[in-house]
Amino acid sequence: MARVLLLPGDGIGPEVTEEARQVLVRVAPDLELQEGRIGGCAIDADGTPLSEASLAKARACGLVLLGAVGGPKWDGLAPEQRPEKGLLRIRKELGLFANLRPARVLDALADASPLRREAVAGVDLIVVRELTGGIYYGEPRGRSDEDGARRALNTMVYDEDEVARIARVAFEIAKGRRKRVTNIHKANVLEVCQLWNEVVEEVARDYPEVELEHQLVDSAAMLLLRDAARFDVLLCPNLFGDILSDEAAMLTGSLGMLASASLGAPGRGLFEPVHGSAPDIAGQDKANPLGAILSVAMLLEHGLARSREAERVRQAVEQVLDQGYRTPDLVRGPQGLGVGTREMGKRVREALG
Ligand code: NAD
């Protein structure tokens, strides 16, 4: 039986994770759910942002549904002891090398985008970002100070196996979507991107049904603002994916709606809303639980290969928004049906039937 570990975390994390949990139980009643602590609540209870016990549970389950970590109570701690360290540790221990961030503009929420409705209508893309290599981890790195002249360097480095495995993730996802991968690079000036592109083309030969195009990262940044609906799957090195996934997210204009997944070997993945712990609204039944609920859809699709159930969850979310229900962070719909966290979760479960 597949097992999923719930790590609700801090702030609004427990509120949105509870609604997500109930959705998961409704669509996949056969799963075994366990619970653990991460972040500030774990610092308070266990003296560390991720205890060995929670980590052991995460390893045993393989699949983790997370809320959010952090808050003002723990802001003063030394960097090594802060709540985010728990997140970094779990990502590393589970070997999560692929980060998936979908950006989909739902018709009911198109007016929440900072861009005109016409510019974002029909946007439905996913950024696949390499997460454990590239310039954030490359050696040599560091600073020096010689005779008063300061110097710093970082290194963007990829070996072919790292590129091939993230490319495969992108092509596999594209197979189940509109069958188009846009490879993001800067090969006109970076040798590392020349190798990256070469390997991506080699992997593409195994996916003749998927169309591959290459796009310079600077022009991709422009195209996202002008014509994002043309994109299906964007395959990115770590640095470019970090930046473009935030840009793509802004097209939707609704932080509380955004889901994400980080994947490792088959059966290993962490699924979480993009937002943080939102201490300003925690405990007030105001948080939008849809990002967490859509993370459940990602868990079903990418963690458990249950695409049909994933689609049921996405459709239930869409239906509830089409009916006009909105948490306070969302632009009011035509009917202006304002609801809280719990009511929104309940409406989604009702829409699931
Ligand atoms: P945040 O995402 O928590 O909040 C930003 C703004 O968006 C706030 O006004 C908040 O009320 C609102 N918001 C966020 N999620 C919402 C939701 N689901 N429904 C309605 N409104 C929502 O970012 P922040 O304020 O910069 O950070 C707060 C804390 O969260 C910090 O401690 C930060 O370190 C942490 N954080 C954690 C994660 C994570 O766990 N992955 C990510 C980002 C920030």
Q: Binning pLDDT at 50, 70 and 90, where does residue 338 land?
A: very high
Residues 5 and 55 in one domain: yes
Rounded-to-integer distance, Cα 314 and Cα 312, Å: 6
Residue 233 within a domain: yes
pLDDT number for residue 334: 66
Do 149 and 83 belong together in one domain?
A: no
Q: How far, in Å, CA of 313 to CA of 298, rounded? A: 10
Token pair 């490879």 is found at 183
The number of the ligand 1 atom at minimal distance from the alpha carbon of 67 is 40
Span 14-23, average pLDDT: 98
Q: Which of 194, 218, 251 is the last residue of a domain?
A: 251
Average pLDDT over residues 186-200: 98
Q: What is the mean pLDDT of residues 246-272?
A: 95
What's the pLDDT score for residue 161?
Answer: 98
Q: Is 145 a catalytic residue?
A: no
CA of 235 to the centre of ligand 1 (A): 26
* Alpha carbon nearest to ligand 1 atom 7, residue: 278
Helix (H) or strand (E) holding 338: strand 337-338
Q: Closest Cα partner for 78 from 53, 48, 104?
A: 48
Percent of the chain with pLDDT over 70: 99
Same domain for 159 and 223? yes
- Residue 90, domain member (yes or no): yes
What element of type H or E holds 142?
Answer: strand 142-146
Q: Looking at ligand 1, which residue's alpha carbon is closest to its atom 43?
A: 276
Beta strand 269-273 with 259-263: parallel, antiparallel or unpaired? Answer: antiparallel
Name the active-site residue from 186, 286, 322, 346. 186
Instruction: List pLDDT tens digits, range 93-121.
Output: 999 999 999 999 999 899 889 999 999 99
Q: What average pLDDT does the chain have?
A: 96
When pLDDT is cut at 50, 70 and 90, the band that residue 331 belongs to is confident
Confidence band for 333, pLDDT divided at 50, 70 and 90: low
Quote the ligand 1 centre to 137 CA distance (angstroms). Answer: 26
* pLDDT number for residue 337: 86
Ligand 1 centroid to Cα of residue 276, in Å, is: 3
Looking at the fold, whether 193 and 296 belong to one and the same domain comes out as no
* pLDDT tens-digit map of 169-181: 999 999 999 999 9
Question: How does residue 196 score in pLDDT terms, banded at 50, 70 and 90?
Answer: very high
Q: Give the Å distances, CA to CA, from 60 to 4, 5, 20, 63, 267.
A: 9, 9, 21, 9, 11
pLDDT band at 289 (very low <50, low <70, confident <90, very high): very high
Say if residue 290's pLDDT is above 90: yes
Q: Which atom of ligand 1 is nearest to the CA of 281?
A: 11
Is 11 among the domain residues?
yes
102 occurs within a structural domain: no
Q: Do 148 and 228 belong together in one domain? A: yes
* Distance between CA atoms of residues 311 and 346, nearest Å: 18
Residue 18 lies in a domain: yes
- Domain shared by 6 and 68, yes or no: yes
Output the pLDDT for position 112: 86
Best residue among 89, 262, 275 to mutate for probing ligand 1, ranked by most atoms within 8 Å of CB: 275
Q: Is residue 103 part of a domain?
A: no
| Dist. CA 347–CA 144, nearest whole Å | 57
**How many CB atoms lie under 10 A from the CB of residue 261?**
23
Whether 208 and 312 share a structural domain = no
For ligand 1, what atom is nearest to the CA of residue 292? 18
Shortest CA distance to 70 belongs to which of 6, 11, 8, 5? 11
278, 344: one domain? yes
Residue 182 lies in a domain: yes
Q: For 13-33, b where at least 16 C-beta lie within 10 A, e where not — what string?
A: bbbbbbbbbbbbebbbeebee
Among residues 251, 283, 314, the one where a domain terminates is 251
| CA of residue 283 to ligand 1 center, whole Å | 14
Answer left, alpha or beta for residue 144, where phi above 0 means left and psi between -120 and 50 means alpha: beta
pLDDT in tens, 30-89: 999 999 999 999 999 999 999 999 999 999 999 999 999 999 999 999 988 999 999 999
Mutation test of ligand 1: which of 277, 326, 329 has the most ligand atoms closer than 8 Å to its C-beta?
A: 277
Indicate which atom in ligand 1 lies nearest the CA of residue 72: 32
Give the active site residue among 136, 137, 286, 346: 136
H helices of the chain, in order, are 13-27, 40-46, 52-61, 84-93, 117-120, 160-175, 191-204, 217-227, 238-252, 290-298, 307-322, 341-352
Q: Of 206, 225, 251, which marks where a domain is finished?
A: 251
Residues 169 and 222 in one domain: yes
Q: Tell how far the Cα of 273 is from the centroid of ligand 1, in angstroms.
A: 10
Question: What pLDDT score was predicted for residue 44?
Answer: 97
Q: 159, 218, 227, 280: which is the annotated catalytic residue?
A: 218
List, chain by chain if needed, residues with CB within 6 Å of any ligand 1 atom.
12, 16, 68-71, 255-256, 272, 275-281, 287-288, 291, 329
218 is catalytic: yes
Which residues span the domain enclosing 39? Answer: 1-96+265-353
The answer to the question of residue 280 being in a domain is yes
How many domains does the structure of the chain reveal?
A: 2
197-251: pLDDT as tens digits: 999 999 999 999 999 999 999 999 999 999 999 999 999 999 999 999 999 999 9
Q: How far is the CA of 321 from the centre of ligand 1 (A)?
A: 22
Q: Are 351 and 26 in contact (CB under 8 A)?
A: no
Tokens for 169, please give them.
Answer: 């993730």
Q: Are residues 130 and 158 in the same domain?
A: yes
| CATH number where 193 lies | 3.40.718.10
Q: Whose CA is nearest to atom 40 of ligand 1?
A: 68
Q: Ligand 1: distance of its center to the CA of 163 in Å?
A: 32
What is the per-residue pLDDT for 253?
A: 83
CA–CA separation, 43 and 81 (whole Å):
8
- The reply to whether 247 and 313 lie within a common domain is no
Q: What is the dihedral of CA 240, 246, 247, 250, to 10 degrees?
A: 170
Q: Element (H or E) spanning 289, and its range?
A: none
Residue 324 corresponds to which amino acid?
G
Identify the residue whose C-alpha is closest to ligand 1 atom 37: 276
The verdict on whether 107 is a catalytic residue reads no
Based on the domain organization, do 271 and 242 belong to the same domain? Answer: no
